[in-house]
């Protein structure tokens, strides 16, 4: 397991990214996570969940007894799978490449899965790239406004389609 204090190392693992994307915006039990991730052995899934809980990216929302065992329901923790700029600065180029590759791989897996939704996927799909000219203060204001804009859409609501929003900022050459 990665060191408990290094969120970037913990979150960068492909299985852990999948767990975080599954939980994002809702609470899921371990049984529900197993149903969503049938290709991951149960013991492996539990180890990855434990690593995410250890660094505060996942939190236990509730516990209940089920057939003599405790079933936990997980939610995103205080760290929210966000790697701070200061922590990114400590990663080597190879660690950054591996982290970004894991992110892109999970993005592609999510995209492939959404294609099974047919027309619904196309009506809720969008992607593109555009240039912006900013300094660090501009980025801070954009992030604050972005968070405020998204806040009303982060709770699960009956009748609304769950979508995944991924953002990437890359300095252009």
Q: Give the model's pLDDT for residue 1.
A: 40
What pLDDT shows up at residue 120?
Answer: 80
CA-to-CA distance for 119 and 105, rounded, in angstroms? 23
**91 and 100 Cβ atoms separated by less than 8 Å:** no
pLDDT at residue 101, as a whole number: 63
* 8 Å CB contact between 74 and 33: yes
- Give the per-residue pLDDT at 3: 41
Residue closest to 110 by CA, chosen among 173, 68, 162: 162
What are the pLDDT tens digits along the chain (173 aa)?
444 456 677 777 889 988 988 887 678 999 999 999 999 999 999 999 999 888 877 889 899 998 888 899 998 765 554 566 777 788 778 777 766 766 776 677 778 778 888 888 788 888 888 999 999 899 989 989 998 999 999 888 899 988 888 888 888 87
CA distance 112 to 106: 10
- pLDDT at residue number 18: 86
Q: What is the pLDDT of residue 100?
A: 73
* Domain boundaries, given as residue ranges, for the chain: 7-128
CATH class of 7-128: mainly alpha
């Amino acid at each position: 397991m990665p060191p408990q204090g290094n969120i970037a190392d913990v979150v960068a693992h492909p299985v852990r990214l999948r767990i975080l994307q599954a939980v994002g915006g809702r609470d899921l039990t371990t049984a529900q996570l197993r149903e969503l991730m049938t290709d991951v052995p149960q013991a492996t899934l539990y180890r990855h969940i434990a690593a995410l809980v250890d660094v505060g990216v996942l939190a236990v929302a509730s516990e209940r007894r089920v057939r003599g065992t405790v079933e936990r329901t997980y939610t995103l923790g205080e760290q929210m799978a966000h790697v701070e700029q200061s922590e990114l600065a400590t990663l080597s180029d190879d660690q950054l490449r591996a982290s970004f590759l894991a992110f892109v791989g999970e993005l592609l897996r999510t995209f492939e899965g959404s294609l099974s939704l047919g027309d619904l996927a196309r009506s809720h799909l969008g992607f593109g790239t555009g240039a912006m000219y900013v300094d660090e203060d501009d980025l801070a204001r954009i992030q604050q406004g972005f968070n405020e804009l998204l806040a009303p859409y982060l709770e699960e609501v009956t009748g609304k389609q769950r979508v995944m929003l991924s953002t990437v900022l890359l300095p252009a050459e």
